[in-house]
A = this chain, B = another copy of it.
Amino acid sequence: MKEESYKQLLEQKGLKKTKVRITLLQHFMSIEHAQSYNDLQAALVNEVDKSTLYRSLASFEQAGIIHSINDHSGLTKYAFGQPPSQGNEHAHFVCEQCKMVYCMGKLAPLQLNVPKGFKTNKVQAILKGVCSDC
C-alpha cells in the first residue's frame, strides 16, 4: 500500500498527517500481530518520544484505527482494526511460546449463564495456545 493510502485514512478520520502518525500507521498495516509499546518503539527506531507514542496510540484508538488488547501479560498491546464490538466480536489468541497476540476472526456469540441480577453486555475472550509459527 502506498503512502497516499495512509494519508487518506488519517484525513478520513480527521487526524493530522504527521510524520510519526504516518510511520506508525504504516507499521500497523504491515504487521499481522498485536504490538506492545516496546515493539512499536523498536519499529520506529526509538526516534519517537514516549508520550508522543502513547498519545498517538490513544488518538488512533479513539478514531477506531486500532484497538488495544490486554493479554494477561501486564502489557497492553495494540492491533490494527476496529475493536471487537456488538455484532463484530472477535477473540484474541495469545501464543504461549512466542507470546505473540493475534486477532481471531468473528466469534460465534457465546452462551454463558450468569446469576440472576447480572446483565451481560459483552464478552471478551482470550485464547491461549500455540500459534502456527511455533
Listed in ascending order, the chain A residues whose CB lies under 8 Å from chain B are 70, 72, 74, 76, 91, 93, 96, 102, 104-105, 107-108, 110-132
* Bound CA span A115–B110, Å: 18
A121 touching B110 in the complex, CB below 8 Å, given contacts A70-B70, A70-B72, A72-B70: no
A130 touching B118 in the complex, CB below 8 Å, given contacts A70-B72, A125-B123, A125-B124: yes
For the complex formed, measure the closest distance between the CB of A95 and the CB atoms of chain B, giving whole angstroms: 8
Q: How many copies, total?
A: 2
Q: A117's contact among B70, B108, B127, B131, by CB below 8 Å, is which?
A: B131
Q: Which label, helix, strand, loop or mixed, suits the secondary structure of the A interface?
A: strand
A124 touching B128 in the complex, CB below 8 Å, given contacts A110-B110, A111-B108: yes
User: A114: which B residues are within 8 A, CB to CB?
Assistant: 93, 104, 127, 129
Identify which of A76, A111, A116, A129 gathers the most chain B CB atoms within 10 Å of its CB: A129
User: A72: which B residues are within 8 A, CB to CB?
Assistant: 70, 124
Contact status B118-A129, CB under 8 Å: yes
